[in-house]
A and B are shown apart, each in its own frame.
Chain A
Amino acid sequence: MAEFRFIGRHRRAVEHRRFVRGQGRYAADIVPAGLLHVAIVASPHPHARIVSVDASAALALPGVQAVVTGEEMNPALEPMLPGVDAPAVMRFPLAQGVVRYAGEWVAAVVAETRALAEDAAELVQVEYEALPFVVDPGEALREGAPLVHPAHGSNVIWHRRFDWGPVEADFAAAAHRLSCRVQWARSSTVPIETFVATAQWSDATGLLDVWASIQMPKFPDQLARALRLPGNAVRVHYDVDVGGSYGVKRGLKHSVLVGWLARHLHRPVRFLEDRLENMRGGDMQGPDRVFDVELAFEADGLVRAMRMKAVDDVGAYAGRSPLQLGKPVGAIVGPYTINAVTYDAWSVMTNKTPQEAVRGFGQAPTNYAIETAMDRVARFLGMDPVALRRRNLIAADAFPYLIPSGTSYDSGDYAAVLDKALAAAGQDALLAERDRLRAQGLLAGIGVSTCLEPSGGNSSFEPLFNPKNTTTTWMDSCLVRVDLNGAVTAVMGTTSSGQAHETLVSTVVGEVLQREPDSIRVIHADSLNALPSNSPVGSRMAIMLGGAAAGAAKRIRAKLLAIAAHQLQAPPDAPRWEDGDAVLGEARIPWARLVEIAHREFHNLPDGMEPGLQEKFVWEVPTGGMIPTEDGRVQMYPCHSFESHVVLASLDPETGKPEIHRYVVGHDCGVMISPDVVHGMTYGGVAHGLGAALMERFAYSDDGQLMAGSFMDYLLPSAQEVPSVAIVDHCTPSPLTEFGQKGSGEAGYLGGPAAIASAINDALAPLGAEINALPMTPAAIWRAIEEGRNR
């Protein structure tokens, strides 16, 4: 493996210098003069006709500037589009005529202060006529169910059955088959910063400035389109720090609302969600899936084929949420040699808060379903779950490995990572500890998962799920500039929400130019001077932004080497780059001199060379550019990280309370550019996965009300629930990327829930009990124990 000077080393994150001083600049910290504030009047009904809105009392309060409804605003807007071909599923920031979930925005109250806006919102009288509604996705699929969008004609917003390989033949030939149903509950990433959008319009310039806590591909384009403005009339400022996102901060409707209000009122307008608005009407809940998985397998544990049906409840409207059934196509067999797959994917609408992209874009639920089915096979055969996995893992010498759904896995050594994790956990000691806990009267179990993290986020699921969408590039970019005094600045074209991109880019540019990374400044452009970016989604930035930064820096280096060659009257490729200088034999032209020539001495430049020193690089996703085949095969993401979790958990037999005693993650994301960042994301992903597995659920009552709209009832893991976690690194470089790196932004989350669930079911196994739905709360565990005891 190549030796690096800065890559792979411990380095303090650049961004953290401001964060530990309380000097981050988040969207809520940006307060243009004359700012107005929005409060929302939300629907109390899951489905109702809006009969009338009376805002007279609210408008009578001094300081209230406007009360706006969908009737007034929507005719001036284009609807926000779903990610699939369903044009009748129209979505606007404010409901018009009909509300489709409890919490949907009905009116926006704009006032001089937020408190005043809230006072006024309470005075808005809305008369509703309740309509039949549906909250259960199974019910929504039934004939005669109330339709969430009657104009669409069905509650199914997207459905397709894929058949890849000889599924029927493999099932017929296999010695055994087994099926199970598992349920991934509606949870989400729930960042501690709620969504914030501020907009300011100028009649003089015809420009809308936007500061939003956004993490979203093509956000400025969609915002401009919805507002019927040309793209160059919307300037999104990417230099705001985003207080966590992990996928969900797609506040397009929030931004359309304040954009329109700012223009309408000719005052800057901000909407800052409170916690209930965030959880109920912010449209940022996550996948909500029922899986039916059937495996065909041999007596020795070899799994030949899989049938998977996935029904995902996207709620009342859809942006990109149906596509979260699409990304898992690119890792539909997990890390296993499964030969043939049927994937029957249903995206269903109900009268609930809409779903948004969540860390892993649908892969974590799919991994949980695959792993649960693998555990079932092990139990059926009386086989050690680890041995079963070893029997099925793709071998290290089989890469690149083409899976039935058309994606090629780039590289990996799955068995080695599993072995490392087991060794770190001390497999024998772990078994002894489990037996010791059992001897104490506890229920104790060991869980293992082996899961993939597809990375380098591409958009192949867009044409796969919508043939009218011919997107085959999801580029990212970087511009590197060296000023007259020799200082280096790199420009990136998107926001960051905790991924330390400034650290990433400065490390990479420093590596290529052999300049101290801490001397390199990284800035976030605004959308009018940014190069194209598809934002930090899909575990893509180490690959895509890192690759683009390296590409731009290499062009700078090449230019300086050409200047040196010209100075030394040598062939262009003769000088070499060393410690940030150009060297040829005994001759060394230092950095400062090369920069001076580029900026000042046209007479010393090679013929045809542009003066100055800045270079851009726009990078296409490696392996991108492919339109799916007719039978739905496509290269989804380019790179494939791998993780193996080993968990020892116990359950209190009297209360059902789970406790994790040992947690080890073996992780391979290729070459780590910033090990601190990778480890941090992995620790965080485990914690997030623990929440999904054990605690977090957006529960709804039968009458369509969200039962978890605060942190009192939507439970987030604290430092007392999250155990100490040990990470074991392994490195299989990707052949597709600049430095061998893969992505890691979803690490921990993609294998954690499966392993934790596996441990709990192992603990329940002696009772003959099991749980097949997340979250496995103490109450759910207690019920399973009681059922087991009474069996």
Chain B
Amino acid sequence: MTAPIPVTLTVNGTRRTAMVEPRTTLLDLLRDHLALTGTHAGCEHGICGACSVLLEGEPVRSCCLFAPQAEGMSVTTVEGLAPARGELSALQDAFLECHALQCGYCTPGMLVACTDLLARIPRPTEAQVREAIGGNICRCTGYQQIVDAVMLASGQKAAAHG
């Protein structure tokens, strides 16, 4: 154990500082120090993607980064995806509409991966969606309705799934 050091980040648009041991992961900083529990631990070795967040706009595994590595950077978590309180992003809304989740545990990471995809490719093909979420494991959905949701959010599919 080493002495805590300050780490300052811009999280979901707000500047936040926490005192953490240098070995603290970005994931643990978000969950344990900033009470942003939407980001989840799944495997803690970089395979499952449940801990995904956007760091400077790029998707990263927050379980595989030390918090001090993100010093001064901007982080977007699932709690920061909606444009405003009481609203949802088009992607979050499409996840609801298409039943793109069940237990919800992988969902924050999925939303982060798909948000990044749509920022890069506004109208992705199904193969591009599957590639984009290829590093996010979901044990509930079999991915089909997630693909459907991205297609809906990108205006390539009609609503009213069922």
Which residue from chain B places its CB closest to the CB of A190 in the assembled complex? Answer: B139
Q: What's the Cα separation between A191 and B103 when bound, in Å?
A: 10
B14, chain A: closest CB distance, angstroms: 15
Q: Mark A512-535, 1 if CB is under 8 A from B, else 0.
A: 000000000000000000000000
B138, chain A: closest CB distance, angstroms: 7
Query: Is the Cβ of A722 less than 8 Å from the Cβ of B143?
Result: yes
Does chain B have a CB within 8 A of A500?
yes
A245, chain B: closest CB distance, angstroms: 8
Q: Mark B3-44, 1 if CB is under 8 A from A, else 0.
A: 000000000000000000101000000010000111111111
Q: What's the Cα separation between A262 and B162 when bound, in Å?
A: 46
Q: What's the Cα separation between A119 and B45 when bound, in Å?
A: 18
A470, chain B: closest CB distance, angstroms: 35
Query: Is the Cβ of B82 less than 8 Å from the Cβ of A21?
Result: yes
Q: What's the Cα separation between A28 and B40 when bound, in Å?
A: 9
B107, chain A: closest CB distance, angstroms: 5
Contacts of B23 in A (CB 8 A): 115
Query: Is the Cβ of B137 less than 8 Å from the Cβ of A192?
Result: yes
Identify which of B47, B105, B131, B145 contacts A683 (C-beta below 8 A). B145
Contacts of A194 in B (CB 8 A): 41-42
Query: Is the Cβ of A681 less than 8 Å from the Cβ of B102?
Result: yes
Query: Is the Cβ of B38 less than 8 Å from the Cβ of A23?
Result: yes
Contacts of B44 in A (CB 8 A): 274-275
Q: What's the Cα separation between A16 and B100 when bound, in Å?
A: 9
Does chain A have a CB within 8 A of B75?
no
Does chain A have a CB within 8 A of B79?
yes
Give A237-258 interface residues, CB cut-off 8 Å to B. 241-246
Contacts of A23 in B (CB 8 A): 38, 79
A598, chain B: closest CB distance, angstroms: 34
Query: Is the Cβ of A720 less than 8 Å from the Cβ of B130?
Result: yes
| Contact flag A16-B129 (CB < 8 Å), given A26-B40, A243-B103 | no
| Contact flag A718-B135 (CB < 8 Å), given A675-B162, A686-B142, A711-B47 | yes
A646, chain B: closest CB distance, angstroms: 16
Contacts of B146 in A (CB 8 A): 719
Does chain B have a CB within 8 A of A600?
no
Which residue from chain B places its CB closest to the CB of A720 in the assembled complex? Answer: B134
Q: What's the Cα separation between A19 and B141 when bound, in Å?
A: 14
Query: Is the Cβ of A719 less than 8 Å from the Cβ of B139?
Result: no
Does chain B have a CB within 8 A of A725?
yes
- Quick check: which of A5-13, A156-164, A403-411 contacts chain B, the rest being far away? A5-13
Identify which of A10, A21, A499, A679 contacts B145 (C-beta below 8 A). A679
B159, chain A: closest CB distance, angstroms: 9
Which residue from chain A places its CB closest to the CB of B47 in the assembled complex? Answer: A711
Which residue from chain B places its CB closest to the CB of A18 in the assembled complex? Answer: B104
Give A651-705 interface residues, CB cut-off 8 Å to B. 675-677, 679-688
Contacts of B142 in A (CB 8 A): 680, 682-688, 722, 725, 748
Does chain A have a CB within 8 A of B64?
no
Give B129-162 interface residues, CB cut-off 8 Å to A. 129-131, 133-147, 160-162
Identify which of B21, B31, B102 contacts A500 (C-beta below 8 A). B102
Does chain B have a CB within 8 A of A29?
yes
Does chain B have a CB within 8 A of A209?
no
Which residue from chain A places its CB closest to the CB of B95 in the assembled complex? Answer: A20
Does chain A have a CB within 8 A of B60?
no
The count of chain B contact residues (Cβ–Cβ below 8 Å) is 58
Does chain B have a CB within 8 A of A24?
yes
Does chain B have a CB within 8 A of A381?
no
Query: Is the Cβ of B38 less than 8 Å from the Cβ of A275?
Result: no
Does chain B have a CB within 8 A of A166?
no
Q: What's the Cα separation between A676 and B138 when bound, in Å?
A: 17
Does chain A have a CB within 8 A of B101?
yes
Does chain A have a CB within 8 A of B126?
yes
Identify which of B45, B79, B144 contacts A711 (C-beta below 8 A). B45
Does chain A have a CB within 8 A of B62?
no
Query: Is the Cβ of A244 less than 8 Å from the Cβ of B140?
Result: yes
Q: What's the Cα separation between A718 and B130 when bound, in Å?
A: 8
Q: What's the Cα separation between A433 and B104 when bound, in Å?
A: 37
Query: Is the Cβ of B143 less than 8 Å from the Cβ of A16?
Result: no
A344, chain B: closest CB distance, angstroms: 33
Interface centre among B1, B95, B111, B139 (most CB of A within 10 A): B139
B141, chain A: closest CB distance, angstroms: 5
Does chain A have a CB within 8 A of B73?
no
| Contact flag A718-B137 (CB < 8 Å), given A243-B105, A683-B142, A687-B142 | yes
Which residue from chain A places its CB closest to the CB of B94 in the assembled complex? Answer: A20
Query: Is the Cβ of A724 less than 8 Å from the Cβ of B134?
Result: no
Query: Is the Cβ of B141 less than 8 Å from the Cβ of A683?
Result: yes
B102, chain A: closest CB distance, angstroms: 4
Q: What's the Cα separation between A190 and B50 when bound, in Å?
A: 14
| Contact flag A193-B103 (CB < 8 Å), given A20-B111, A22-B39 | yes
Q: Mark A21-45, 1 if CB is under 8 A from B, else 0.
A: 1111010110000000000000000
Which residue from chain B places its CB closest to the CB of A23 in the assembled complex? Answer: B38
Query: Is the Cβ of A712 less than 8 Å from the Cβ of B143?
Result: no
Chain A interface SS verdict (over half) = loop
Which residue from chain A places its CB closest to the CB of B91 in the assembled complex? Answer: A20
Give A471-503 interface residues, CB cut-off 8 Å to B. 497-500
Identify which of B36, B131, B137, B140 contacts A498 (C-beta below 8 A). B140
Query: Is the Cβ of B130 less than 8 Å from the Cβ of A191?
Result: no
Which residue from chain B places its CB closest to the CB of A725 in the assembled complex? Answer: B144
Does chain B have a CB within 8 A of A716?
yes
Give B84-126 interface residues, CB cut-off 8 Å to A. 88, 92, 95-97, 99, 101-108, 111, 126
Contacts of B48 in A (CB 8 A): 192, 711, 716
Q: Mark A709-727, 1 if CB is under 8 A from B, else 0.
A: 0111000101110101100
Query: Is the Cβ of B41 less than 8 Å from the Cβ of A28?
Result: yes
Query: Is the Cβ of B82 less than 8 Å from the Cβ of A712?
Result: no
Does chain B have a CB within 8 A of A189?
yes
Q: What's the Cα separation between A685 and B144 when bound, in Å?
A: 12
Give A116-143 interface residues, CB cut-off 8 Å to B. 116, 119
Does chain B have a CB within 8 A of A436?
no
A641, chain B: closest CB distance, angstroms: 17
A778, chain B: closest CB distance, angstroms: 17
Does chain B have a CB within 8 A of A15?
yes
Query: Is the Cβ of B141 less than 8 Å from the Cβ of A684?
Result: yes
Query: Is the Cβ of A21 less than 8 Å from the Cβ of B139?
Result: no
| Contact flag A676-B161 (CB < 8 Å), given A19-B101, A500-B102, A712-B47 | yes
B147, chain A: closest CB distance, angstroms: 7
Contacts of B141 in A (CB 8 A): 680, 683-684, 687
Query: Is the Cβ of A192 less than 8 Å from the Cβ of B92?
Result: no
Q: What's the Cα separation between A215 and B43 when bound, in Å?
A: 20
Interface centre among A9, A498, A688, A718 (most CB of B within 10 A): A718
Query: Is the Cβ of B45 less than 8 Å from the Cβ of A244?
Result: no
Q: What's the Cα separation between A119 and B1 when bound, in Å?
A: 9
Q: Mark A213-243, 1 if CB is under 8 A from B, else 0.
A: 0000000000000000000000000000111
Does chain B have a CB within 8 A of A17?
yes
Identify which of B21, B31, B135, B143 contacts A687 (C-beta below 8 A). B143
Contacts of B147 in A (CB 8 A): 719, 724
Q: What's the Cα separation between A18 and B101 when bound, in Å?
A: 11
Identify which of A29, A498, A682 contacts B103 (C-beta below 8 A). A498
Query: Is the Cβ of B162 less than 8 Å from the Cβ of A24?
Result: no
Query: Is the Cβ of A724 less than 8 Å from the Cβ of B126?
Result: yes
Query: Is the Cβ of B144 less than 8 Å from the Cβ of A192?
Result: no
Contacts of A21 in B (CB 8 A): 38, 78-79, 82, 88, 92
Can you pick out 6 interface pairs between chain A and chain B where the beta carbons lie within 8 Å of each other? A17-B96, A19-B101, A20-B107, A711-B47, A716-B137, A719-B146
Q: A19-B104, A192-B137 are in contact. List 13 more A-B contacts (CB 8 A).
A: A17-B96, A21-B38, A21-B92, A22-B108, A23-B38, A244-B139, A680-B102, A682-B142, A688-B142, A710-B47, A716-B139, A720-B131, A724-B147
Chain B residues proximal to chain A, CB less than 8 Å: 1, 21, 23, 31, 36-45, 47-48, 50, 77-79, 82, 88, 92, 95-97, 99, 101-108, 111, 126, 129-131, 133-147, 160-162
Smallest CB-CB A-B distances: 8 pairs: A22-B38, A19-B104, A498-B103, A243-B105, A10-B162, A22-B78, A683-B142, A687-B142
